[in-house]
Structure 1
Amino acid sequence: MPILIFFISHWFLSLFFQTFFQHRYASHRMFTTSKFWERVFYLMAYLFEGASFLNPRAYALMHREHHAYSDTEKDPHSPHFFTDVFQMMVATINTFRDHLKKTSDPEARFTGYYPEWPLIDRIGSSILSRLSFGAAYTWFYIAFASHWWMFLLLPVHYLMGPIHGAIVNWCGHKYGYSNFDNNDKSKNTTPFDFLMLGELFQNNHHRHPNSANFGKRWFEIDPVYPVMRLMHRLRIIRLRKA
């Protein structure tokens, strides 16, 4: 039981901060917040994403490129230009690494308006930090795993962020239905997207990229949006009008 609780908690907490902080805030600025809360969210993203912490600047640049060139040859991770999801993951990681190390020259329209915290960026992206989190995950499994098959879940902890991205980018542009004609292949993979916290409403999101609510029809529920509404009411964040 401790292993399953740990796995589910890591899955959803890591995913929540990826969609809330790196995606909805760093990439799209769907809300504003104070410097204090920005740093709180920054630190929590680092702690919960752990071994696969995603640098917000690199994430934002790559994601903005994805929207601008959705499902074209310039899209950094369109599934329609790769034979399988693993090749797409490798290409995505390489693009992300180029932005992280600043070896690529992004277009000016994609730069700026993303949070940066040099200390956390440096620590979170370091090999030592990633290995330390990996060692902590491994220790937890050694201490609490009651069956051998539980260790099959361990690699997911090491690559949690890339796995989330692979599911969203592959499935969200190949499988499902469309509410809008976006001149790309984005899909809403499922009308009940609890597993990926609304990220699989890709067709909706590409139509309304600055809308904090990824669900657009009455039966499409974005689990993160009510949390953001609560934060707005508590004045932790201020939602922007799409």
Structure 2
Amino acid sequence: MAIFIFFAALWYLSLFSQTFFQHRYAAHGAFTMSKGWEKFFFIFTYITQGSSYMSPRAYAIMHRLHHAHTDTEHDPHSPSNSSNIFSMMWDTRSAYQQILHHEENVDVKYTKNLPLWKNFDKFANSAFSRLLWVAGYTSFFIAFATSPYQYLLLPIVVSMGAFHGAIVNWFAHKYGYINFKLKNTAMNLLFFDILMLGESYHNNHHKHPSSVNFGQRWFEIDPTYYIIRFLSFIKVINVVLVPNHRTAIR
């Protein structure tokens, strides 16, 4: 039981860091926060993502490129450019590494207003840090696993962020329904998205990238949006653009 509780907690905490801090804040600037809170969420993201931590700066640039070049050869992660989901995951990793280490010639328009903590990111992205997390996860499984089958979850734990990204970037460009006609393949993967904390409303997101609420229709519940509202209420963040829930579906 401990393994499943740990897995579920890590799934949602890691996913929250990705959708709240790296995606909605770093990539799209949907809300602002002080430098103090920004450093807090750097650390929170590192703790919750562990061995699969991604630099908010590098993530944001890669994601902005995805929006600018969706489904084209310049898209850093698109099913249109990969034969299978694992190939796309590897391509995504390669694109991330190139951006992280400044090996990619990125247009300056994609690098504006990014969260930056160079020394912290250097450590968090180091092989030493990742190996420490892997050792910690493995030790936890050795201590608490009650069946050999539970070890099948360990590779997912180690690469949790990559799995989160693959679910949206692969399946939400292949399966689902659309609310908006777009010039790309982005679709809403789930009708009621508790599994991905609102990230699966991909068609809505490509229509309104900077909206803090990825849901558009009455049944499209975006759990992260309500957390954002709470954090805004207690003055941790300041929401830049209040979403219009009456946006027409077309």
TM normalised by structure 2 equals 0.95
Query: Which deviations, in whole Å up to 9, do the C-alpha atoms of 1:38-94 show, x marking residues without a partner?
Result: 111110001110001001111011000000011112111111221100111111110
Partner of residue 59, structure 1:
59
Gap runs ≥5 in structure 2: 243-250
Query: What is the CA–CA distance in structure 1 between the aligned matches of 2:225 and 2:138, rounded to whole Å?
Result: 33
Give the match for residue 19 of structure 1. Answer: 19
Name the SS of the counterpart of 2:109 in structure 1: helix
| Offset of residue 119 of structure 1 | 2.1
How far apart in 1 are the matches of 2:200 and 2:120?
29
The CA deviation string for residues 9-28 of structure 1, in whole angstroms up to 9 with x for no partner, is: 01110010011000000100
Quick one: percent identity of the two aligned structures? 49
Matches within 5 A, 1:9-158: 9-158=9-158
Letter in 2 for 1:28: H
SS at match of 1:64: helix
Distance 1:39 1:127 in 2: 22
Following superposition, which runs of at least 4 residues in structure 1 exceed 4 angstroms of deviation? none
1:152 shift after superposition: 0.6
Distance 1:47 1:190 in 2: 28
SS in 1 for 2:198: coil
Q: 2 CA distance for matches of 1:4 and 1:140?
A: 12
CA deviation profile, 1:176-220 (whole Å, cap 9, x unmatched): 000001111000011111111111101000000000000000010
SS in 1 for 2:44: helix
Q: CA deviation at 1:172?
A: 1.1
Instruction: Specify the code of the residue in structure 1 equivalent to 2:56.
Output: P
1:85–1:170 CA contact under 8 A, matched in 2: yes
Alignment of 1:161-240 (within 5 A): 161-240=161-240
Counterpart residue identity of residue 5, structure 2:
I
Amino acid at match of 1:23: H
Structure 1: gaps of 5 or more residues: none
Q: C-alpha distance in 2, partners of 1:51/1:145? A: 20
SS at 2:104 equivalent: coil
Look up the SS of the partner of 2:134 in the other structure. helix
What is the number of equivalent residue pairs in this alignment?
242
Using structure 1 for the length normalisation, give the TM-score.
0.98
